[in-house]
Amino acid sequence: MLEIKNLHVKLEEEDKVILKGVDLTVEAGKVHAIMGPNGSGKSTLSYVLAGRDGYEVTDGSASLLGADILDMEPEARAAEGLFLAFQYPVEIPGVGNMTFLRTAVNAQRKARGEAELTAGEFLKVVREKAKSLKIDAEMLKRPVNVGFSGGEKKRNEILQMAMLEPKMCILDETDSGLDVDAMKLVSDGVNALRDEGRAFLVITHYQRLLDHIKPDVVHIMADGRIVKTGGPELAMEVEQNGYADILAEVA
């Protein structure tokens, strides 16, 4: 599904190298987790994959279902099936949440050569999915994320993901700022989307989320590289001992 090879990335504006040779292969149907200390480059990796400005790829490659994505515009990557749930969801004043979702869904359907959803069809689907994430009708009418609590923003990211039905889903610390109940809702939302034809990259600081969204593979990222890869037990090890032991071992 996703193949990243030797990815090197620096900031466009300054000579700061952030990713120093990331290698990562995520197979369809799998959930991979990335953990790692603050500042190790996890969010940068997700931004570069999604196509955010401000970063320069100096070496390496990234492909989605065999297609090189690094030269594509962000919307083309999305049309290919890439989705990023942001660590810090953006507020969009003046754009209703429902309008935003419908525009995004129909743009993607169009890019895939599928018929757009009618207003009625869209309403039916969005209401059903919003309900399972406990997002009420009033939140659907408000401008995107404006005045939403931290937890509501994260649930709204999952609603976007559920509506767009992407193939490669990247969740950047979607659990941060969530209470136990909201974490359960978000995890249930993600688990409902698990499918043979879809893959997930779940970036998280905490083992807690991985109790709900059981990963197949866990990676540890440090200083711009994946330094260790293992099974779910690796997340337990981090939870118990922190990163120090792992970092010392790979140093």
Residues that bind ligand ADP (CB under 6 A): 11, 18, 36, 38-44, 54
Closest to Mg ion by CB, 87 vs 187, is 87
Q: With contact defined as beta carbons under 8 Å apart, do 196 and 207 qualify?
A: no
Percent helix, strand, coil in the chain, to 5, is: 40, 30, 30
| Closest CB to Mg ion: residue number | 43
Give me the least distance between CB of 228 and ligand ADP, in Å please.
Answer: 15
Give me the least distance between CB of 13 and ligand ADP, in Å please.
Answer: 7
C-beta contacts of 100-104 below 8 A and 24+ residues apart: 100/144, 101/126, 101/140, 101/159, 101/160, 101/163, 102/126, 104/160, 104/163, 104/164
Give me the least distance between CB of 41 and Mg ion, in Å please.
Answer: 8
Closest to ligand ADP by CB, 133 vs 202, is 202
Closest to ligand ADP by CB, 39 vs 242, is 39
Binding site partner of 44, from Mg ion, ligand ADP, none, Cβ cut-off 5-8 A by kind: ligand ADP
Cα separation, 71 vs 81, whole angstroms:
15
Binding site partner of 40, from ligand ADP, Mg ion, none, Cβ cut-off 5-8 A by kind: ligand ADP
Closest to ligand ADP by CB, 98 vs 226, is 226
Give me the least distance between CB of 109 and ligand ADP, in Å please.
Answer: 32
Cα separation, 238 vs 242, whole angstroms:
5
The contacts of residue 152 (CB under 8 Å, 6+ apart) are 135, 139, 145
